């Protein structure tokens, strides 16, 4: 633990819980979750500024803020979610672990904000909960999924799981492949330390699920783009 960790617990967490409590009231009048996204994006930008995290974005021209996508990226640190929310100019919802949805205020706000809570594992019930993300896509909002299913401790990619690509196939939205570099050094796995540093986000060109013969071909193409950019742009 370091002073940035204390800053997180003593400043950002209280701000987050107060803001989410206010959102739960606002949501009674605006159940779309769009206001929650705006709040979450602001919180992500504030987090980066307070912790001294600089973000370099490559490939902004590859997507449009007026469109919606299934965003797929590698996952290397706890900072990935707030930094993606603060960086991507999309009305974005995340797929998150079911356990997070049970946290008082925090979890309630996530569910009310349109985040998709999924069961972990490879069961039929887990897949059914994941496929709820297709309804968010069909509502015209973007969804983000980490297809590795967990964080990488080293920053290297882990094997992708096919569930995210079933969502892509059924959701009717382009798949936007994104590579995140450096976040494993900001928030190391199995550590409470938060470090300052630089993160590089590379946005690839959208992939149209209908252009691929099957889910496996779409998954392989996504891995190739995200993994290729990880090698090309790594620090």
- Phi/psi region, residue 156 (left: phi>0; alpha: psi -120 to 50; beta: rest), is beta
Q: What is the dihedral of CA 215, 221, 223, 225, to 10 degrees?
A: -150
Q: State the pLDDT at residue 121.
A: 66
Element (H, E) at 83: helix 80-87
Percent of the chain's residues with pLDDT above 90? 62
Mean pLDDT of 192-196: 90
HSE-CB at 91 with a 13 A cutoff on CA atoms is 15
CATH of domain 3-233: 3.40.1130
Q: State the pLDDT at residue 9.
A: 85
Answer whether 0.85 is exceeded by the pTM: yes
Is there a contact between 134 and 170 (Cβ–Cβ < 8 Å)?
Answer: yes
The rounded mean pLDDT for the chain is: 92
Q: State the pLDDT at residue 199.
A: 96
Mean pLDDT of 123-129: 76
46-68 pLDDT, tens digit each: 999 999 999 999 999 999 999 99
Q: Which 8-state DSSP code applies to residue 145?
A: E
Return the beta strands (E) in 16-105 as ranges.
Answer: 53-58, 70-73, 92-97
Question: Nearest to residue 82, comparing CAs of 43, 54, 108?
Answer: 43
Kindly list the domain boundaries of the chain, sorted by start residue. 3-233
User: What DSSP string runs through 92-108?
Assistant: EEEEEEGGGGGSTTHHH
Mean pLDDT of 138-144: 95
Percent of the chain's residues with pLDDT above 70? 99
CA distance 99 to 60: 33
215, pLDDT greater than 80 = yes
Is there a contact between 66 and 57 (Cβ–Cβ < 8 Å)?
Answer: no
Q: State the pLDDT at residue 72.
A: 98
Mean pLDDT of 169-189: 94
CA distance 79 to 170: 29
74-125 pLDDT, tens digit each: 998 989 999 999 999 999 999 988 888 888 888 889 988 999 998 876 677 7
Give the pLDDT band of residue 7 (cuts 50, 70, 90). confident
Q: State the pLDDT at residue 54.
A: 97
22, pLDDT greater than 90 = no
Q: State the pLDDT at residue 64.
A: 97
Mean pLDDT of 125-131: 79
Question: Nearest to residue 94, comparing CAs of 41, 154, 27?
Answer: 41
What would the two tokens of residue 175 be?
């798949």
CA distance 17 to 23: 10
229, pLDDT greater than 70 = yes
141, pLDDT greater than 80 = yes
What would the two tokens of residue 198 be?
């630089």
What would the two tokens of residue 201 be?
């986000």
Which of 8-22, 175-189, 207-221 has the least mean pLDDT?
Answer: 8-22
> Degrees (nearest 5) of the Cα angle 97, 133, 105?
45
């Amino acid at each position: 633990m370091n002073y940035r960790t204390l800053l997180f617990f003593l400043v950002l967490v209280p701000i987050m819980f107060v803001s989410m409590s206010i959102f739960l009231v606002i949501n009674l009048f605006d159940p779309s979750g769009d206001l929650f996204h705006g709040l979450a994006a602001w919180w992500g930008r504030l987090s980066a500024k307070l912790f001294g995290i600089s973000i370099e974005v490559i490939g902004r021209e590859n997507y449009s803020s007026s469109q919606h996508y299934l965003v797929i990226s590698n996952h290397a640190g706890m900072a990935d979610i707030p930094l993606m929310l603060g960086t991507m100019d999309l009305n974005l919802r995340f797929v998150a672990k079911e356990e997070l949805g049970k946290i008082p205020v925090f979890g309630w706000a996530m569910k009310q904000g349109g985040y998709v809570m999924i069961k972990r594992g490879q069961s039929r019930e887990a897949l059914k909960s994941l496929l709820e993300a297709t309804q968010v896509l069909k509502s015209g909002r973007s969804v983000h999924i980490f297809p590795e299913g967990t964080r990488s401790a080293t920053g290297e990619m882990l094997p992708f799981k096919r569930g995210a690509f079933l969502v892509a196939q059924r959701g009717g939205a382009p798949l936007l492949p994104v590579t995140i570099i450096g976040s494993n050094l900001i928030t190391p796995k199995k550590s409470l330390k938060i470090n300052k540093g630089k993160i590089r986000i590379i946005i690839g060109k959208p992939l149209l699920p209908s252009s691929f013969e099957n889910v496996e071909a779409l998954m392989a193409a996504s891995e190739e783009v995200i993994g290729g950019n990880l090698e090309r742009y790594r620090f």
